[in-house]
Amino acid sequence: MRIIDSHVHVWKNDPAFPWAPETVHPPAEDATAEMLLEQMAAHGVEKTVLVQVIHYRWDNRYTAHVLRTYPDRFMGVCRVNPEDPAAPDHLSRWTEECGFHGVRLSPAADASGDWFTGPLMDPLFRRAAELGVPMLILTQPSRLPDLAALLERHGDLDVVIDHMADCPPDRPDELRKLLDLARFPRVFVKISHTWSLSRQGYPWADTHDLVRRVYETFGGPRILWGSDWPVCLSRATYGQTLSVVRDEMPFIAPEDRPWVLGQTALKLWPFKERN
């Protein structure tokens, strides 16, 4: 079974890759590609999708450097400024010149995220579809109806909901907003962040029914495992983020487990193979 991590962040305290001016408290410790490769080797993870960390904002150069250095191990998802009318062209440049395959948007649930319903979204969604790259959405359930409205117009785009939209396990009304998106056949969901949503220790059993409902609604070929390393380290080891899905969720059918742990990611990200 090929294991592919669909969600990791990397960064490095290095003047060659400066933090964005808006970053008031950048991470003191590094989370480099080399540190990640050690974790992958220890846990049998073959390849990983690097998602641009917010501390760099729209400057994707460190992730681009990692993609050039380890082309057969990583693929990357960039960020572009969603309030910049030139964002579609920026996405084209990062995709065509630097090898990124995907873009992430993070609309806040409050008024500061209202750009998500504005006129700049349709051109950006359209460009992602033209480039054939997935759109990752990090948001909360209250924004999902806005996403549904966009998907009505952009059904030819692969969209991945990060971390199950952080739906609270005890709020079925919020979960319904996520499950409603299953009517769009090109919407995928990362069943990550159970460690963050849980009020218990490993294996975070109070979140398993939430994952089960997502799995039963979307199906194995439309959900993905992701570690969210190193963010996960505040509550979970890298290995625990994998073993909770691989070993602690028996409701995932044996024939679906390879999809969840790797095949779905491979469908969305065409990794290079080693020579």
Comparing CA positions, the residue from 155, 236, 151 lying closest to residue 193 is 236
DSSP sequence for 158-221: -EEEGGGGG--TT-HHHHHHHHGGGGSTTEEEE---HHHH-SSSTT-GGGHHHHHHHHHHH-GG
| 4 three-state secondary structure | strand
Return the sign of the alpha-carbon dihedral for residues 142, 170, 235, 193: negative
Per-residue pLDDT for 275 more than 60? Answer: no
Identify the burial level of 59 via C-beta atoms within 10 angstroms of its C-beta, where 0-12 means exposed, 13-18 middle and 19 or more buried: middle
| 82 three-state secondary structure | coil
Return the sign of the alpha-carbon dihedral for residues 259, 264, 270, 274: negative
Beta-bridge partner residues of 76: 50
Kindly report, residue by residue over 160-208, the tens digit of the pLDDT: 999 999 999 999 999 999 999 999 999 999 999 999 999 999 999 999 9
Look at residue 239 and tell me if it is in a domain: yes
Look at residue 273 and tell me if it is in a domain: no
Share of the chain above pLDDT 70, in %: 99
Comparing CA positions, the residue from 128, 114, 214, 119 lying closest to residue 165 is 214
Q: Which alpha helices (DSSP H) does the chain contain, by range? A: 33-43, 61-69, 87-98, 121-131, 144-153, 172-179, 194-197, 208-218, 238-247, 257-258, 264-268
Tokens encoding 231: 């963010």
Kindly report, residue by residue over 75-98, the tens digit of the pLDDT: 999 999 999 999 999 999 999 999
**pLDDT of 229:** 98
Q: Considering the chain, what is the average pLDDT of its residues?
A: 97
What's the domain range around 70? 4-268
Beta-bridge partner residues of 51: 77
Look at residue 132 and tell me if it is in a domain: yes
**pLDDT of 200:** 97
Name the phi and psi angles at 193, rounded to 5. Answer: 75, 15
Domain tally, the chain: 1
Look at residue 274 and tell me if it is in a domain: no
Least confident of 18-22, 139-143, 158-162, 269-273: 269-273
Comparing CA positions, the residue from 122, 103, 121, 204 lying closest to residue 162 is 103
Angle at 176 between CA 234 and CA 226, to 5 degrees: 35
Look at residue 275 and tell me if it is in a domain: no
Look at residue 23 and tell me if it is in a domain: yes
**pLDDT of 274:** 64
Look at residue 234 and tell me if it is in a domain: yes
**pLDDT of 42:** 98
Amino acid at 130: E
Look at residue 39 and tell me if it is in a domain: yes
Q: What is the CATH number of the domain that holds 198?
A: 3.20.20.140
Q: Which residues, 6 or more positions from 253, have their beta carbon under 8 angstroms from its beta carbon? A: 220
